[in-house]
Amino acid sequence: MGNLDLSKVRRPKCNGKDGMASQRSSRFQSRMLLRLVFIGFTCLSTGCALINGMVANTAGKFFGSAEAVYASDEDPELVRDALPFSLKTMETLLDSSPENKNILLGACSGFTIYAYLFLQADAEMAEWDDYNLALELRERARKMYVRGRDYCLRRLDVTYPGIGSQLLVDPTVAVLDIELDDVEALYWLGTSWGLAISNGLDHPELVADLPAVKALLGRAIELDEDFNRGAIHSALIPLEALPEEMGGSPSRARQHFERAVELSDGLDASVYVTFAAVARGADDREEFELLLKDALAVDPDEDKSYRLLNLISQKLARDLLDHIDDLFFE
């Protein structure tokens, strides 16, 4: 795995009281997590069920806020190293609290984020020099996406028993009862499942689940179209970039792209990189290049909630521009 070059990225300044407060908050969260983990591991070995439940409930709330801390970090390699510990901690806590909705959702989003930012992105950049490594990374990413999907299925099953099997039989009907409070779970389930499919097109059993993914994201967009500033539209771009015989549509992909840019105020570089794949599929070199340059024009420090995603997306954009002659033939 390559190291990210942060030398070309302007680092955010730590401004007075706000910066100090942010640092204190991060240190407090780290200490709190370590205490929770210590108590949790001790009780797992001694069987104190009541404390295990308390730890799981508190940890569920903690991981919800920790996700924002990770997303705003300026050092992707630090997050790469830290996330696996958080993921295994959540899995450990789920052993004692298997229906904790917060932790199930955290595990789903966590495995999906890790696979997308640190396995799939690495795979795409490895393709130029080591194709076998790229295949290996994509397969790891696929497995992580499936793992995340399974946690989200468990999360929804707590509220809607039997939803997993219903999604495979009649997905359009299965999602009708899902309510606004569960949009986040809908989004992460659809995203993890969709990314598993796009990285596993040689797995027919996965590809057969495509209608379920479309139903999940379709219901999510019905309930809260501007969720997380266009995240659902962004998730639908790669699905619509699939071949037309698999239900993809370049025109619908463009509609989702334009709406995602609008809702994110153009501050999410990943949207441009994702849609560049559609331009590549259409053999449109000019638009491909413009989209990647648009991604690089985004200031990763303007909106901290996008910072980590933007840094990694911009690294991928630079890599694609460096190899543009290998992607398009005159």
For 199, the 3-state DSSP assignment is coil
Per-residue pLDDT tens over the stretch 65-75: 567 778 888 99
CA angle centred on 207, ends 179 and 231, rounded to 5°: 40
Query: How is 209-235 classified by DSSP, letter by letter?
Result: THHHHHHHHHHHHHH-TTGGGTHHHHH
**What is the spatial distance between Cα 196 and Cα 302, in angstroms, rounded to a whole number?**
31
For 221-274, write each residue's pLDDT tens digit.
999 999 999 999 999 998 888 888 888 899 999 999 999 999 999 999 999 999
pLDDT at 117 (0 to 100): 95
**Residue 244, pLDDT score:** 86
Supply φ then ψ for residue 108, to 5 degrees.
Answer: -60, -55
pLDDT beneath 50, residues of the chain: 1-17, 19, 22-55
* pTM: predicted TM-score of the whole model, two decimal places: 0.82
**For residue 121, which amino acid is it?**
A
User: What's the pLDDT score for residue 181?
Assistant: 96
Q: What is the pLDDT of residue 329?
A: 81
3-state secondary structure (DSSP) of residue 115: helix
Task: Write the DSSP assignment of 152-175 as a string of letters.
Answer: HHHHHHHHSTTHHHHHHH-HHHHT
CB of 207 within 8 A of CB of 246?
Answer: yes
Look at residue 126 in the predicted model and tell me its pLDDT: 95
